[in-house]
């Protein structure tokens, strides 16, 4: 007869299929990806979990294990095959002093590559967001291994070369209009 008061949940799945045009070799490959995800919340406490796989056939005879991705000046290589995992936990405090709310959160994510010798990419994050009218302040401490977006080399999401942990303090201020 339903969930207890204050408890909510959902589960879902997604599947992606697309062609990939390889203009260098005038061939067409494909990408298949799937994910399973679930959320569980009790009042202001929430947990989200995702697991999935990525499978790219880029039809590149010289580099069939990785693909170049990105945009503008941020181009990086990604392993074509692997499994990804993410777990998020958050808690939201309502009406704290002059703030409308303050949310605290932690996240762990990894990309475990299928290719032998490729190192796992991982990211751990702890953070908080404070909301005041149309202004949001975000503070996050991010730690990662083989993570291009926080200081790793361009092949971090592919072969991975960095055994050390990169760290980043992320401070942001948003104005919503």
pLDDT of residue 37: 98
pLDDT of residue 59: 94
Backbone CA torsion sign across 75, 154, 14, 113: positive
Q: Is the pLDDT of residue 74 over 70?
A: yes
Residue 142, token pair as written in the block: 């991010």
pLDDT tens per residue across span 126-169: 999 999 999 999 999 999 999 998 988 889 999 998 778 999 99
Give the model's confidence band at 4: pLDDT under 50 very low, under 70 low, under 90 confident, else very high: confident
pLDDT of residue 3: 74
Q: Is the pLDDT of residue 71 over 60?
A: yes
Q: Is the pLDDT of residue 1 over 70?
A: no
Q: Is the pLDDT of residue 70 over 90?
A: no
How many Å apart are CA 4 and CA 162, to the nearest integer? 46
Q: Is the pLDDT of residue 68 over 60?
A: yes
pLDDT of residue 81: 98
pLDDT tens per residue across span 5-49: 989 999 999 999 999 998 889 999 999 999 999 999 999 999 999
Contacts 24+ apart (CB under 8 A), 130-133: 130/99, 130/101, 130/102, 131/99, 131/100, 131/101, 131/102, 131/103, 132/98, 132/99, 132/100, 133/100
Sheet holding 99-113, edge to edge: 7-22, 27-42, 45-57, 81-96, 99-113, 121-132, 135-145, 166-175
pLDDT of residue 148: 92
């Amino acid at each position: 007869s339903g969930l207890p008061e204050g408890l909510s949940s959902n589960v879902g799945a997604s599947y992606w299929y697309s062609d990939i045009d390889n203009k260098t070799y005038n061939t067409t490959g494909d990408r298949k990806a799937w994910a399973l995800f679930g959320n569980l919340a009790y009042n202001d406490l929430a947990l989200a979990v995702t697991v999935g796989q990525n499978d790219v056939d880029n039809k590149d005879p010289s580099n069939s294990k990785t693909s170049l991705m990105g945009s503008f000046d941020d181009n990086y290589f990604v392993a074509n095959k692997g499994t990804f995992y993410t777990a998020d936990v958050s808690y939201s405090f309502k009406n704290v002093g002059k703030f409308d709310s303050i949310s605290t959160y932690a996240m762990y994510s990894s990309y475990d590559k299928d290719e032998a010798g490729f190192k796992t990419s991982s990211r751990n994050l702890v953070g908080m967001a404070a909301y005041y009218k149309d202004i949001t302040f975000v503070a996050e401490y991010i730690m990662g291994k083989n993570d291009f977006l926080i200081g790793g080399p361009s092949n971090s999401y592919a072969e991975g070369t960095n055994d050390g942990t990169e760290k980043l303090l992320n401070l942001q201020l948003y104005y919503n209009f």
